[in-house]
Structure 1
Amino acid sequence: MPEDITSVHITSKDGTTLAVDTVGEGAPVILVGGAFNDRSTVAALGAELAPRFSVVTYDRRGRGGSDDRSGDYLVANEVDDLAAVIAHAGGRASVFGHSSGAVLVLEGAMRGLPIDRVAVYEPAYRAAEDAPGPAADLYDRLKALVAAGDRDGAAEVFLREAVGVPDGVIAGMRSGEAWPFLTGKAPSLPYDVLLSTPWQVMPFDRLARIGVPVLAVYGDRTAPGLAEATRAVAATVPGAELKVMEGEDHAVLQRPAGLAGILADFFG
C-alpha cells in the first residue's frame, strides 16, 4: 500500500483555499466524496488505486481543511474548485464521484472541464417525477440553520429530508462517536442539495450532451431511488457503461477493494 502522500493547499477562482492530497504514480485520477465526506473518507479507495494512478483527493469547500471565501452558495463555486484541482493534477484528469460528489463530477463534465473519463457511484439525483423527494425550500432552511450556527439542526434536516433517515436512527446517530464528524460538515450541506436539487428531476437533456466516457455503478442493496438514478445516468449519457455491485450499498467507500478494481479497469 502506498505511504507517501503529498499534502498542499491550492487556491480556487474566488480565493477559497482547498486542501489537496496526492498519492501514487501514473495518470491522474481525482476522487470526490459526497455529503458528510472529506478527503479522509475517500483515502482508502485512493490507497487501493495508488499503485496504478496518481490519485488526488481534496476537501470540498467548507469542510475539513478547505475554507469558503464565497459570499453565497453556488454550484459554480464547486465546479471552479474541481477545475482548480484538475489544473493542479496536470491540466487533465479522470474523475470519480460518490453520491453528491458524483453529481459534481457529472456537472464538471457537462460544463466542459478538461476531464478524460467520469466514473460515478450512486449519483444523488431524483430520476422521476413520482419519486419521493424533499420540499423545494430545503435549501433555504438548511442555509438558515447554518447561518444561525445550528449545525446539529442542519445535519438532522439533511439526514431526514434529503437522505430519508428515520428519526429514531438519527437519534442514535446523535449519541454516536461519528456525530461531531458529521456536524463538522454541516456548513457545506447547502452545496450538496444545490448540486442534487432532489426536489426536481435530474437534468436529462444536459446529461445527454456529455461527450466523454462515463461509467455508472451502484450496489444491489442500495436504496431504490439511488439505483434508479444510476441506471438513468447510464441510459442517458451516450455510450455510458453500467455496473452493479453484488452485496453492496451506499457505504461502499468503507469497503473500497471491489470498487477500486472496477475503477482501475475503467480508468485504464
Structure 2
Amino acid sequence: MADYLKGTVRSADGTTIGYRQYGSGPGLIVVHGGMKAGQHFSTLAADLSDRFQVYLPDRRGRGRSGSHGTAFGMQREVEDLQALVAATGASLVFGHSSGALVSLRAALSIPALDRVALYEPPLPVHDSVPTEWLPRFDREIAVGRRSAAAVTALKGLRTEPTFSRLPRWLLTGVGAVGLRTERPPDDEVSIAELIPTMHFDVQLIREMADTASKHATLKVPVLLLGGTRSPDYLSVALRELASVLPRAQRVTLHGLDHSGPEDDGSPLVVAQVLRDFFTAPRRPDHERQTVKS
C-alpha cells in the first residue's frame, strides 16, 4: 500500500478536518459516504496516486476531524470541502453515497471545481430513498446497541446484498462480536465509532430530497457512476440527475454494488473509470451514456 501524509484544515466554523494525502499531480478529493472514513478508500487512492495528488478527508464527526457541531447540515459539509479545496488547490472531486450528495451540492458553490464524479448519490426522488428505519436506529444507538443499529441501517438501505438474505439475529450477533474484538491501527477510526454517524447522513439525505432540478445550472462536467447490483432507488437518482445536469456522463459498472469504490468493493475498476474521466479532454455539453463490463 502506498505511503501517505497527514494534514488538517480548519473549516469556516472552526472545526478541524483531517485528511490523508497520496501521490502527486492534480489535486483530487475523495469524499466518503455513511459509516465510513477516509481510510476505507486507501486502495482507490493508492491506485490513482500515480496521476493525482489524492486527498482522503475524514468528514466531520469521524476519525481525525472534529465533531458534527450544533448546527450541522449540508452547508457545514460544503464548507468543510471548500476549506480543503482552498488549502490544497484541488479542482477534482469524487464523492461516494452521502459524500456524493455533498460533492454535488458543493459543485454549485465552489467555483474552483473543474470536474465532479459521483458514485450512487442517495438523492430522494419523490420519497424514493428508504429512511423510515431511522427512529429504530436512533433508539438502538441510545441504548448502546451499535451492532443492532448497523443492521437496522444496512437492512433499511438495502445496499448490502448479504444483509437482505440473512436473519437480523444472526447479523446482530456476529456484528457484536466483531465490534468487541476489532483493534484498528492507531491512525484509523473503529467501526463502532462510525456507526452512530449514520444519523447525520440521513439528515443530509432528507435535506437534499427532490433537489435535482436545483443543479440544472451546474456547468462543470459530472460523471455519474453506479453498479448493476445496487438498489433501484440509486438508479432512480442517477437517471434524475442525468436528465437535468447539462454536462452529465453516466457509466454503469457491471457486477458492482454500492461498495464499489471502497477497499472491500472493486476500487481498481472504479479507479480506472475515474482516471479516464479526470484526464480526458473536454467534451461537448451533452450527455453520453455508456456501460462498462
TM-score interval, normalised by the smaller of the two chains: 0.7 to 0.9
Task: Tell me what 1:193 maps to.
Answer: 202
Q: Deviations over 1:9-44 (max 9, x none)?
A: 222122212211111111100001100110111111
CA distance in 1 between counterparts of 2:204 and 2:243 reads 20
Task: Tell me what 2:235 maps to.
Answer: 227
Query: What's the RMSD between the two structures over aligned residues?
Result: 2.7
**Which AA in structure 2 matches 1:61?**
R
CA distance in 1 between counterparts of 2:39 and 2:32 reads 9
Closer, same or farther in 2 for the Cα pair 1:4/1:201, shift >3 Å?
A: closer
Closer, same or farther in 2 for the Cα pair 1:185/1:239, shift >3 Å?
A: same
**Which AA in structure 2 matches 1:257?**
L
Contact 2:148-2:172 at 8 Å conserved across structures: no
1:17 aligns with 2:16: yes
Counterpart selection for 1:237 from 240, 245, 248:
245
After superposition, where does 1:99-248 map in structure 2 within 5 Å?
99-129=97-127, 131=128, 133-135=130-132, 138=134, 151-152=146-147, 154-163=149-158, 166=164, 168-169=167-168, 171-172=170-171, 174-176=173-175, 179=179, 181-197=190-206, 201-248=209-256
Contact 1:222-1:248 at 8 Å conserved across structures: yes
Q: Deviations over 1:32-87 (max 9, x none)?
A: 11001101111110111100001011111111221216224222111111111112
The structural deviation recorded for 1:105 is 0.3
Q: Secondary structure at the match of 2:86?
A: helix
CA distance in 1 between counterparts of 2:18 and 2:129 reads 35
Contact 1:159-1:170 at 8 Å conserved across structures: no
Q: Secondary structure at the match of 1:206?
A: helix
**Which AA in structure 2 matches 1:117?**
R
Contact 1:127-1:229 at 8 Å conserved across structures: yes
Contact 1:33-1:99 at 8 Å conserved across structures: yes
The structural deviation recorded for 1:215 is 0.4
TM-score (norm 1): 0.86
**Which AA in structure 1 matches 2:61?**
G
CA distance in 1 between counterparts of 2:15 and 2:248 reads 33
CA distance in 2 between counterparts of 1:132 and 1:38 reads 22
Q: Deviations over 1:102-125 (max 9, x none)?
A: 111001112345211100111112
Task: Tell me what 1:265 maps to.
Answer: 276
CA distance in 1 between counterparts of 2:172 and 2:220 reads 39
Q: Secondary structure at the match of 2:114?
A: strand
After superposition, where does 1:38-57 map in structure 2 within 5 Å?
38-57=37-56
CA distance in 1 between counterparts of 2:93 and 2:65 reads 19
The structural deviation recorded for 1:231 is 2.2
Contact 2:91-2:112 at 8 Å conserved across structures: yes
Aligned-residue sequence identity (percent) comes to 32
Contact 2:11-2:79 at 8 Å conserved across structures: yes
Contact 1:155-1:183 at 8 Å conserved across structures: no
Q: Secondary structure at the match of 1:40?
A: helix
The structural deviation recorded for 1:156 is 4.3
Q: Secondary structure at the match of 2:28?
A: strand
**Which AA in structure 2 matches 1:259?**
V
Q: Secondary structure at the match of 1:196?
A: helix
Contact 2:242-2:248 at 8 Å conserved across structures: yes
Contact 2:96-2:119 at 8 Å conserved across structures: yes
Closer, same or farther in 2 for the Cα pair 1:193/1:236, shift >3 Å?
A: same
Aligned length: 262
**Which AA in structure 1 matches 2:274?**
L
**Which AA in structure 1 matches 2:150?**
A
Contact 1:22-1:57 at 8 Å conserved across structures: yes
1:85 aligns with 2:84: yes
Q: Identify the range of structure 1 (32-41 vs 61-70) with the bigger mean alpha-carbon deviation.
A: 61-70
CA distance in 2 between counterparts of 1:235 and 1:170 reads 41
- Unaligned regions of 5+ residues in structure 2, if any? 183-189, 280-293
